[in-house]
Amino acid sequence: MVKDETVTINKVTLWQIISGVLGFALVISLVFNFAGGSSGSGSGTIVKQPTQNAGSGVEVRSDVDLEGVYFLGKENAPVKIIEFSDFQCPFCGRHYSQSHSQLVKEYVDTGKAVFYYKHFPLSFHPEAYPAALAYECAGEQDKNWEMHDKIFENQDAMSEASYKQWANDLGLNTAKFNECFDSDKYKEKIDADFNEGQELGVSGTPSFFINGVKVVGAQPYSAFKQVIDAELS
């Protein structure tokens, strides 16, 4: 009887150990998957991409389509900063709050760089596409950058009702904005941006092309400064 009882205890103990190991492995797997799939890149990398002279003396990626893309600054500025972004991405929000305004102040406002915004709405961010649509519809009334800022400053309040309210707050013709938004007017443009981003190797947001130098992630201002200053030298 004692021997049988001992065997039973060992079996239970063994099963508890196995269950514990499997449970721990499952938790680690879930944590890893969650961290890897939240959005974009937090640490970031800088990769030199092939470039081609555009004819104006500026080295840019020849296959980035900028036709119809809203830009901030002087179009003929020596440095082109092209961002592929997702309005709901937390790393994109971090870039906006930590680096964007300083980049605009130091380089765009001074005529050294021009900034382009392209869409890369990730499928697991349900508000990324509607927000991109709101940005484009606001652009019809020359308020795309104001909408851009409004969205990033209120990422926790993103919704159709919010976009329409913000359009009103920004002084837009709300009937025109709502008609544009409700009709998915710029779906093809947003989809084209996303597809182009994939062709360029974009897999996370935010991703930037600075005169052919690929910068990935919500990097500090100093990382962007290093690349831009090198292009200006």
Share of the chain above pLDDT 70, in %: 73
CATH superfamily of this structure's domain 40-232:
Glutaredoxin (3.40.30.10)
Identify which of 189, 186, 215, 198 has the alpha carbon closest to the alpha carbon of residue 83. 215
Q: How far apart are the first and last CA of the chain?
A: 87
Give the DSSP H or E segment for 174.
helix 174-182
Q: 9-40 pLDDT, tens per residue?
A: 454 444 444 444 444 443 333 333 333 333 44
Which of 10-24, 194-208, 219-233 shows the lowest mean pLDDT across its residues?
10-24
Q: 136-193 pLDDT, tens per residue?
A: 999 999 999 999 999 999 999 999 999 999 999 999 999 999 999 999 999 999 999 9
pLDDT score of 58 more than 90: no
For the chain, the domains span 1-37, 40-232
With H, G, I as helix, E, B as strand and everything else as coil, classify residue 122. Answer: coil
pLDDT score of 110 more than 50: yes
pLDDT score of 123 more than 80: yes
Q: Give me the chain's average pLDDT, please.
A: 82
pLDDT score of 55 more than 70: no
CA-CA-CA-CA torsion for 56, 59, 65, 70, nearest 10 degrees?
Answer: -70
CA-CA-CA-CA torsion for 5, 6, 8, 12, nearest 10 degrees?
Answer: 140
Decide which of 71 and 45 is more confident: 71
HEC-encoded secondary structure of 123-156:
CCCCCHHHHHHHHHHHHCCCCHHHHHHHHHHCHH
Mean pLDDT, residues 36-49 = 42
Asked whether 204 and 217 are in contact (CB, 8 A), the reply is: yes
Beta strands, E only, 5-141? 45-48, 52-53, 59-60, 71-72, 79-85, 113-119
CA-CA-CA-CA torsion for 41, 45, 48, 54, nearest 10 degrees?
Answer: 40
The tokens for 224 are: 């962007």
